[in-house]
Chain A
Amino acid sequence: MELTRRGFLTSTGVGFGASLGLLLGRPERLQAATAAGQFKTRLTRETTTICPYCAVGCGIIVHSRDDKVVNTEGDPEHPINEGSLCPKGASLYQLANNEKRLKKVLYRAPGEGEFQEKDWYWAAKEIAKRIKKTRDETFTEKNAKGQVVNRTTAIASVGSAALDNEECWLYQAFLRAMGLVYIEHQARI
C-alpha cells in the first residue's frame, strides 16, 4: 500500500528524516545545541544573471544575503559558458563590491593635480560640449584631392560589445552622422 504524506506523518508523528537525528545523533547534544541556539543559520539567495562585459553573454549565479552580493560564480547550466568564466567575468563580484569602485563623477582639469567631484548633469553637458568643439575644430569637408569627405579624424570610438545588432547599428549611425571614421568594436580586438 502506498502511503500518503498525511497518513505517514499521522502514523509516525514526525518525519523520519527529522527523527533520524535523535535516533543516531546523541540526543543530549542536539537538545543542547538547539536550546543554546548554537545552530546559527544564514540564508543566501541565488539569482541568475548575464555577464555585462562582452557579447558572449556568459551566465552567472549571484549569491546575495540581505540584498548584498556576497559571491558570484559561473552558471553551470547556461548553454553558452556551462559554468566557466573568463577573468573579467570571474571577478564580477568586484563590480558590486570593491572599495576602489568609483561611485561619483570625478574630474581633473588640465594641469591640475587633484580630482574634483562633479554631478552627472555637468559631466554629460561637458562631454557633449567637448565632442562638438573637437569635431568643429577638426571637421574636414574635402580632402587634399578635393573629394568630399565630411569627416573628423580627431575622435575615435571603441565599443560596444554589450549592445545588440540593432543598437550597434544605431550607435554607428550616430557616430558617422558626426563624421567619425575611426569606428572600432572591441569584440574584434
Chain B
Amino acid sequence: MFQDEQKNSDAWAADFSQMIEAVSCKQLLNNFPLPTDKDQLHQLLEAGKYLFVPQELEINQPVLEEYFESLLIALGKILPDKGEDLDNLDRAYRSGQLPAQQILRATISNSWSELKVWSQNFSIDTNVLQFVSLSLARPFRQQIAKSFLAHIDLWLWHQGFCPICGHWPVLGRLLYNGKKELWCCCCGTRWNFVRIGCNFCNNKNHDDLGFLTVDGYDKYRIYVCDKCKRYQKFFVCSEDQSGEEFDYDKEYLLSVELDQAAIGAGFVAEPVGMVSTAN
C-alpha cells in the first residue's frame, strides 16, 4: 500500500531535486576566496577536519532572490497544509523584514538561534523555516563544495561527517560492490566510509552494529549502532544504480518515513543542521 502511493508521489521529489540542481549551475557567488594549497587541504583532511569554515560570502543577489521566490512557490505545492507558514514567510520577505540574504547568511553560519527567533517573530513553523533555509543554502554550499572537491583527494577522508561543511549525512548508498557511500544534504558532497562501522561515533565493534530492514521498504537498510543509538539510512543499489547519476535528493525526500521506523525501534535521529565539533 505504502509503496504504491510512493510511486505516484515520486514526481514531486524529482521536480524538487531538479530545481535545486538547476540553480546550482548558475553564477551564485561573486567572489569566493578558495584556499588552493592542496597540501594544506590534505593535511586538514588527514587530521579529520572539514574544509569549509563559515565566512561572509559575496552573493549574487538577483539569483538568490529569484531562487528564494521559486522555492516558496515549489514548497507551497509540496506542503499545502503549511500554506499559512509559507505565506507568513513570504510576507516577511517582501516587506523587507526578513531578506533572503539574511536567511542564507544565518544558515551558512549554522546560526539556528536566529532562525528560531524569526520563526517566533513571524509565526512560521520552525520545521518549515529550517527546511526552507537548508534548501536555500544548498546550491551555494554545493558550488563551494565543488570548488574544494576539484582540488582534493577524498580517499584521505575517513570520517563519518561531511569533509566540506562538517554536517552529518542524512542518507547513504550501499553500492553494488558492497562499499558504503555517505551523502550530505547541505552541500551535496558524497564520500566513502567503512562498511562495518558507525559513521557517528566510529564504533567498529560488530556486537553493537547491524541494520534494520523494514517490511515494505525493500530497497533500504537502516544501519544502527547500539553504542550511540544513532542510525543511518542507506539505499541498497543495484548495479545500474551505483553510478554518479544517483538522485540523492529525491531518495532522501522519499525515505523520510523510515526515520519514524528507526525512532520507533529505539534509535535517535541526528538533527540535519548539526555540525561535527571536529574543527
Contact = CB atoms under 8 A, between A and B. Distances in A.
Interface of A: 1-5, 7-9, 11-12, 14-26, 29-30, 33-34, 38-48, 61, 73-77, 83
Contact of A76 (B170, B178, B210, B215): B178
A140 B277 CA distance: 77
Given A2-B110, A42-B212, A83 B269 contact: no
A8 B274 contact: yes
Given A19-B127, A23-B79, A45 B177 contact: no
A18 B259 contact: yes
A43 B211 contact: yes
Interface of B: 2, 5, 78-79, 82, 109-113, 116, 125-128, 130-131, 170, 177-179, 194-196, 206-207, 209-216, 222, 224, 253, 256-257, 259-265, 268-275, 277
A5 B209 CA distance: 23
A34 B128 CA distance: 23
Given A2-B110, A2-B275, A47 B260 contact: no
B209 A16 contact: no
Contacts of A30: 257, 260
A-B interface, 5 closest residue pairs, ranked by CB to CB distance from nearest: A76-B178, A15-B269, A39-B261, A21-B256, A18-B269
B256 A24 contact: yes
Given A20-B131, A43-B210, A83 B260 contact: no
Contacts of B261: 39, 41
B274 to A, nearest CB: 6
Contacts of A83: 177-179
Contacts of B256: 20-21, 24-25
B113 A1 contact: yes
B171 to A, nearest CB: 10
Contact of A23 (B116, B128, B195, B222): B128
Given A12-B116, A39-B260, A45-B209, 5 more contacts: A8-B112, A11-B112, A17-B271, A41-B264, A46-B206
16 contacts: A7-B112, A8-B112, A11-B112, A16-B130, A20-B256, A21-B259, A22-B127, A23-B131, A29-B5, A34-B264, A39-B264, A40-B214, A43-B210, A43-B211, A77-B194, A83-B178
Contacts of A21: 256-257, 259-260
Contacts of A8: 112, 271, 273-274
B28 to A, nearest CB: 23
Given A41-B261, A41-B265, A17 B210 contact: no
A5 B212 contact: no
Contacts of A18: 259-260, 263, 269
Contacts of B262: 41
